[in-house]
Structure 1
Amino acid sequence: MSDTLSSPQTVLPDKGADSGTGYKEQFERSLGKFESFAVAFSFISITTGLFSTYGSVLVSSGPIGMWTWPIATLGTLLVALVFGLLASKIPLSGFSYQWASRLVNPVLGWWFGWMSFAFIAVVLLAVDYGLAQVALFPLLGLEYSPAAGAITTVVVLFIQMLLIIWSTPILTKINNMAVGAEVIAMIGLIVGIGIAVTFFGKGQASNLLSTGIAPTEHYYGWLGPFMLSGLLGAFTLVGWEAAANLAEETLNPKQVVPRAMVHAVLASGVMGTLFLMVIGMGLGDQVAELSKSSAPVADVIRITLGETLSKLILLVVCVAIFACGLVIMTSNSRLVHAMARDGRLPFAEALSYVPRPTGGPLWATIVAALIPMIIVLSFYSDPDALTQILGAATLLPALLYSATVLLYIGTRHKQLHHADDFTLGKWEWPVVVGACLWLFVELCVFMIPADFRVAQMYVLGLIAVGAVVFACVWVTRRKQLEQMPPIQHYL
């Protein structure tokens, strides 16, 4: 891979001036290299994904299912590289919405935007619901119930909404602190559990090759239990494109954003592999028992490291998951704002309103919070709510990533190349082909088996809702739907 970035700095316009994007700058550019990386890393949040999904993987595939994680990391890294090519050419809030609108047409872009909104909303719900079930309730020693989980999720969503509206610098500081704490906690857990297993006999290395309570018939077959464990990586290693969604708040985004996405995937993949190894070994001889737990990762930490240290780690995990949800809601608020300022949504004038450059878009953020609140209240008494949400939150990004990679392939011939673009040189086509192969396998895993029928129904429901919203926009704002502001500096 090569990275031909000859311009050391992108010249930034004065605040409020036309930046060559067709828009007046409404946000302050305050995100540097680390902040952009932190946004992508925090959205991925391996603690969030692994705490939320590991229990499902134990049931469906057993501890050995963790070995799909490195495969998912490689595949996701290839997809992130393709996204980096697009993010460098069109560094605007709205990421895939902007890319499809400008490279094909605004109608296709609208649907990319809607699917992105649905994906981020569902992932936000899964993250905040998971915060209650697998981290907060175990930390406080409370008995979990679906009703209590739903109420807690609504409260968390409300707090995140207020923080985003109030101050971008404050939420950036919270996220930076959370990312630092998460990295330290993950390294500490890897070392601590590894020592407990290796020197104090609190685990078994043989678990890494155990199928546990999972069915063993055709285990390694096409779409068998082993392949189903891909949920672990497919749910967790998503959202790194949030760095692209905050491009208009990033310094030198053409260079910073692509690297931030790739580095976040790579760091998450490596740490996640090591963490899954020690957690798998830490199951010890209680694989069957812990597979039935609502929070098996928290249980392994308690068993191997003791009650006191377990509580401390869970506190850090709660902060990391909260920050993950904070970044996700921020990303969705920027997407809603980007579509609204182009007149692509009902009540566009209100949804595009930004009270001040250091805060979030007011009504766009409220919408980004309100939709998950409504959805979670519909799951008020469902004990399988988290599993169902996880399924939808896995299928939606797979569909969106596949469509975006195909978008790049189909429009590559019309894209102009500039000296400061992020490029892959001779590795471009091998990376693109590899990304396509990974996404094909991922879609097969989550489209063909009956296990994901509920998730597929949710996706179809979201598409149906999108059709209603699109019809309203088409009838009331057709002229705006057919036009896009020119961007002089990027295409």
Structure 2
Amino acid sequence: MSDFLSTDRRTDTTDDRNDDKVVNEFGYEPQLRRSMGKFSTFAISFSLMSVTTGIFANYAFGLGKAGPSFIWTWPVVALGNILIALVLAHLATQVPLAGYAYQWPARMVSRRYGWFPGWLGLAAWLTGTPGVAYALAQYFTPYVGLGTSVGTIVIVTVAILLSWMVIHLVGLKLAAVINNASVITEIAGSLLVGVGLLIYALLHHVQDFNFLTAGPSTAQAPTIALLAAAALMAAYTLTGFEGAADLAEESHEPRRIVPTAMVLSIVISAVLGFVVLLGFELATPDPAAIQSSSVPLLDIAGHYLGVFTPAFMALVFVSIYACGLINMAAMTRLAFSMSRDNILPFSKAISSVSTRNSPYVAVVAATFISTAFVLFAKVEAIITSVSAVAIYLSYALVILGGWRVGQQPPTGMYFSLGRAFRPLAVLALGWIFTLVIGLLIAPGSWITPLTLLGVVVLGFLWYFVRVRNVAGNE
């Protein structure tokens, strides 16, 4: 593990040529530059989950729905998602191409089949990326004195999306440098403060452990339905571990590095996130005031950190910003990968790569669509819940598409579950089904299932209009 998390080292160009040869064997001309080593590849998956982003984006929602007891949805979701990560890591060695959600099932089953998990994955990124931008704006605007109106938050959200677009037009190398630095800010900003608050709370008995079983009010105990709604925070946060696979053509030795990055990133994030949640919850100074606050974590941190609060918030802002920046990287690589097979609208343009090795048309198009979604949804919980359900459905279709891989022998030096793949895949599919049903029936806005239905209908319509004919000639 220490070697994997060490600073990136320059890899022998022979390895890169071998990796590019694999891309050729799948029928594509290598167009993206392999600029990421072990640490950068890990950082992609780690930052895409971003404990800081997920907790800050959805803590108020979970606390409001189920009270302090919602913390226990975290370890449950974490165990289920680690299972998903293990199953996907087993498949990661088979097709080391950019845009895993489309390419893996397209190669393991067919391009027609691959369209559906690819489309759902793309929809998840197109809603998840603006969700991160909205979360950042939601905390940033009141903190710097711009107010809390929805209009202001939306304007700042759009400005953040445009800044990510500019960075990606420069190239992935700059985005990777920013992202690598954010791993440090993530640990410093969340873990250190979370552990500090946990120690203080235990020593001073701010809240006892019974507080962690309280409902949304003293008169209301938590119910299964309320906890299902509150599980959104963990369900949304602990995804993105597969992001390293979306950028496989920009990593050195992706068959060896990507599976490790996926599993290691979610295990670290799961542990880190639970420690942070424990610290903030047990250190809650005024439960009634905190539960009614729109920025509860900021209020808790400000209560204890005093003059150091700005430094903490700066680290938080950097972590959330980097998370969204890398979300855009994964989203545009998936779009680029699908357009190489001519199954997206304007595929020829979207698959274009600039002299800086950036799929620049995909970057601009993704920014425009994400902005449009923000203007439509305007509510963080709606944005993140649509993203979460879409990505889980994509996971399920990818796992189903990779079912036959379980019959293949272990891949030697690469990660493999061996004979355990199929039983673990069944468990993973059962978990995904349970989680998706919970997210869809949880108390909340009707806009979430309606928007998701719209995404699915659009996917089927485009399949019959374009994909079926284009992919049918494979």
Give the conservation status (yes or no) of the 8 Å contact 1:474–1:481.
yes
Establish whether residue 239 from structure 1 lines up as the match of residue 232 from structure 2.
Answer: no
Give the conservation status (yes or no) of the 8 Å contact 1:395–1:455.
no
For 1:72, the equivalent position in structure 2 comes to: 77
Output the TM-score relative to the length of structure 1.
0.88
Establish whether residue 228 from structure 1 lines up as the match of residue 229 from structure 2.
Answer: yes
Q: CA deviation at 1:282?
A: 1.8
For 1:3, the equivalent position in structure 2 comes to: none
Q: Which amino acid letter does the alignment assign opposite residue 434 of structure 1?
A: L
Give the conservation status (yes or no) of the 8 Å contact 1:63–1:211.
yes
Give the conservation status (yes or no) of the 8 Å contact 1:391–1:452.
no
3-state secondary structure, aligned to 1:54: helix
Q: Which amino acid letter does the alignment assign opposite residue 390 of structure 1?
A: T
What RMSD over aligned residues (CA atoms) do the two structures have, in Å? 2.3
Q: How many residues align?
A: 462
Q: CA deviation at 1:350?
A: 1.1
Q: Which amino acid letter does the alignment assign opposite residue 384 of structure 2?
A: L
For 2:7, the equivalent position in structure 1 comes to: none
For 2:119, the equivalent position in structure 1 comes to: 114
* Closer, same or farther: CA 147–340 of 1 in aligned 2, 3 Å: same
In structure 2, C-alpha distance between the alignment counterparts of 1:203 and 1:196, rounded to whole Å: 11
Establish whether residue 191 from structure 1 lines up as the match of residue 195 from structure 2.
Answer: yes
In structure 1, C-alpha distance between the alignment counterparts of 2:197 and 2:176, rounded to whole Å: 31
5+ residue gaps, structure 1? 1-7, 485-491
In structure 1, C-alpha distance between the alignment counterparts of 2:114 and 2:92, rounded to whole Å: 15
In structure 2, C-alpha distance between the alignment counterparts of 1:376 and 1:389, rounded to whole Å: 8
Which of the numbers 446, 456, 464 marks the counterpart of 1:453? 446
Give the conservation status (yes or no) of the 8 Å contact 1:128–1:325.
yes
Q: Which amino acid letter does the alignment assign opposite residue 472 of structure 2?
A: E
In structure 2, C-alpha distance between the alignment counterparts of 1:89 and 1:214, rounded to whole Å: 52
* Closer, same or farther: CA 407–173 of 1 in aligned 2, 3 Å: same
* Closer, same or farther: CA 353–201 of 1 in aligned 2, 3 Å: same
In structure 1, C-alpha distance between the alignment counterparts of 2:161 and 2:230, rounded to whole Å: 29
Give the conservation status (yes or no) of the 8 Å contact 2:410–2:416.
no
For 1:288, the equivalent position in structure 2 comes to: 288
For 1:481, the equivalent position in structure 2 comes to: 471
Give the conservation status (yes or no) of the 8 Å contact 2:226–2:443.
no
Q: CA deviation at 1:118?
A: 0.4
Q: CA deviation at 1:374?
A: 1.0
For 1:303, the equivalent position in structure 2 comes to: 303
* Closer, same or farther: CA 468–434 of 1 in aligned 2, 3 Å: closer
In structure 1, C-alpha distance between the alignment counterparts of 2:430 and 2:183, rounded to whole Å: 31
Per-residue CA deviations over 1:242-298 (Å, capped at 9, x if unaligned) read 1000001111111110110101100000010100001111223x2222112111111
Which of the numbers 423, 427, 431 marks the counterpart of 1:434? 427
Q: CA deviation at 1:400?
A: 1.6
Give the conservation status (yes or no) of the 8 Å contact 1:212–1:288.
no
For 1:331, the equivalent position in structure 2 comes to: 330
For 1:314, the equivalent position in structure 2 comes to: 313
* Closer, same or farther: CA 214–268 of 1 in aligned 2, 3 Å: farther
3-state secondary structure, aligned to 2:446: helix
Give the conservation status (yes or no) of the 8 Å contact 2:195–2:275.
no
In structure 2, C-alpha distance between the alignment counterparts of 1:16 and 1:33, rounded to whole Å: 17
Give the conservation status (yes or no) of the 8 Å contact 1:192–1:305.
no
In structure 2, C-alpha distance between the alignment counterparts of 1:175 and 1:23, rounded to whole Å: 28
Counterpart mapping for 1:49-448 below 5 A: 49-133=54-138, 135-200=139-204, 202-213=206-217, 216=220, 219-220=222-223, 223-284=224-285, 286-306=286-306, 308-356=307-355, 358-379=356-377, 385-409=379-403, 411-412=404-405, 418-448=411-441
In structure 1, C-alpha distance between the alignment counterparts of 2:361 and 2:17, rounded to whole Å: 26
Which of the numbers 26, 34, 37 marks the counterpart of 2:42? 37
In structure 2, C-alpha distance between the alignment counterparts of 1:366 and 1:78, rounded to whole Å: 35
Give the conservation status (yes or no) of the 8 Å contact 1:61–1:214.
no
Q: Percent identity between the aligned chains?
A: 31
Q: CA deviation at 1:77?
A: 0.5
In structure 1, C-alpha distance between the alignment counterparts of 2:418 and 2:461, rounded to whole Å: 43
Per-residue CA deviations over 1:39-75 (Å, capped at 9, x if unaligned) read 0010000100000111111111111110111111111
Per-residue CA deviations over 1:194-220 (Å, capped at 9, x if unaligned) read 243234565554422222428736x35
For 2:8, the equivalent position in structure 1 comes to: none
Please identify runs of 4+ aligned residues in structure 1 that moved more than 6 A.
14-17
For 1:4, the equivalent position in structure 2 comes to: none
Give the conservation status (yes or no) of the 8 Å contact 1:60–1:215.
no
In structure 2, C-alpha distance between the alignment counterparts of 1:212 and 1:448, rounded to whole Å: 19
Output the TM-score relative to the length of structure 2.
0.91
Give the conservation status (yes or no) of the 8 Å contact 1:60–1:214.
no
Q: CA deviation at 1:394?
A: 2.2
In structure 2, C-alpha distance between the alignment counterparts of 1:272 and 1:456, rounded to whole Å: 28
3-state secondary structure, aligned to 1:141: coil
In structure 1, C-alpha distance between the alignment counterparts of 2:202 and 2:311, rounded to whole Å: 22
3-state secondary structure, aligned to 1:62: helix
Q: Which amino acid letter does the alignment assign opposite residue 294 of structure 1?
A: S
* Closer, same or farther: CA 206–177 of 1 in aligned 2, 3 Å: same
Q: CA deviation at 1:472?
A: 4.4
For 2:459, the equivalent position in structure 1 comes to: 466
Give the conservation status (yes or no) of the 8 Å contact 2:97–2:248.
yes
Give the conservation status (yes or no) of the 8 Å contact 2:301–2:309.
yes
Q: CA deviation at 1:347?
A: 1.7
3-state secondary structure, aligned to 2:292: coil
In structure 2, C-alpha distance between the alignment counterparts of 1:162 and 1:343, rounded to whole Å: 26
Q: CA deviation at 1:14?
A: 7.2
In structure 2, C-alpha distance between the alignment counterparts of 1:258 and 1:210, rounded to whole Å: 39
Q: CA deviation at 1:391?
A: 2.0
5+ residue gaps, structure 2? 1-10
3-state secondary structure, aligned to 2:176: helix
